[in-house]
Amino acid sequence: MIRRSFLGAVRLGQHRVLPGVPQVLPRLSPTSAFGSSADSLVSRFCPEKTDLKDYALPNASWCPDMLNLYQEFLEKTKTDGWVKLPSFKSNRDHIQGLKLPFGLAVASDKSDWRIFTRCIQEEGQGYEYVIFFHPSKKKSICLFQPGPYLEGPPGFAHGGSLAALMDETFSKTAYLAGEGLFTVSLNIRFKNLIPVGSVAILNVDVEKIEDQKLYMSCIAQSRDQQTVYAKSSGVFLQLQLEEESSQ
């Protein structure tokens, strides 16, 4: 169970207790085991049976390119070790599979909480995306079709919408590949604008896991790989997960 009290800001990337700074995460013990295998994390993350709506499924707004790519990767889930990740309305819905550390409290009020990349519920207007993850290769593919609510320059996706989806794809990959939970840094170089309604493919790789940090890279490009939209890197922090026995 997640602790129910609501605590203040959570300090990242720094494990000593500073005077006057809220310290709600446990200090990391270098000897603590990050014991969960990717397979175990994936199976908790992808419940076989659930009543929750999965937003990472085709709907009427998906363009032919998006549908074709989805089918292509769905085939790979049968033969090539890829896993299609479900995407619920909030990380709270993932909590059964997505364990949080002690102290990262969940407010128990009645708000309609939504994960940012699912903040728009009208099909096709905002984020349409699905992430496929490969546990043994420690990589992800995200198919992304931005809608007209994600606009920056007229007719094109806002750079921040791509940044947010890169962060989200990094975060799910980091969690499943190595219990990475929090973004330490995100560096993006933008190359081309993504037209609203087209499809971008985000390729995410875990480059290395070192000193309780995961180092990842991402390239976002068009389906034909002729247009690179952006390249990025991200660093995520591993945090000691709450013991299952405490539930």
Contact 128, 144 (CB under 8 A): yes
- 65 catalytic? Reply is no
Site for its own copies in 35-74 (CB under 8 A): none
Catalytic residue among 54, 167, 205, 224: 167
Site for its own copies contains 227 (CB under 8 A): yes
Rounded to whole angstroms, how far apart are CA atoms 42 and 140? 13
CA distance 132 to 60: 20
- As given in the structure block, the two tokens for residue 211 are 């000193």
Closest distance to its own copies from the beta carbon of 72 (Å): 22
Q: Give the interface segment with its own copies, choosing from 26-34, 36-44, 61-69, 85-93 (CB under 8 A).
A: 85-93
DSSP helix/strand/coil, 237: strand
Picking from 166, 127, 168, the residue whose alpha carbon sits closest to that of residue 148 is: 127
Q: Segment 168-197, which members bind its own copies (CB under 8 A)? A: 168, 171, 181-196
247 binds its own copies (CB under 8 A): no
Record the tokens describing residue 64, joined without a space.
Answer: 């032919």
Does 142 bind its own copies (CB under 8 A)? Our answer is no
Among 37, 111, 136, 246, binds its own copies (CB under 8 A): 111
- Taking residue 170's Cβ as centre, other Cβ atoms within 10 Å add up to 27
Radius of gyration of the chain (CA): 18
Nearer to its own copies, 77 or 90 (CB): 90
Q: How far is the CB of 81 from its own copies (least distance, A)?
A: 28
From candidates 57, 119, 207, 225, binder to its own copies by CB under 8 A: 119
Residues serving a catalytic function are 167
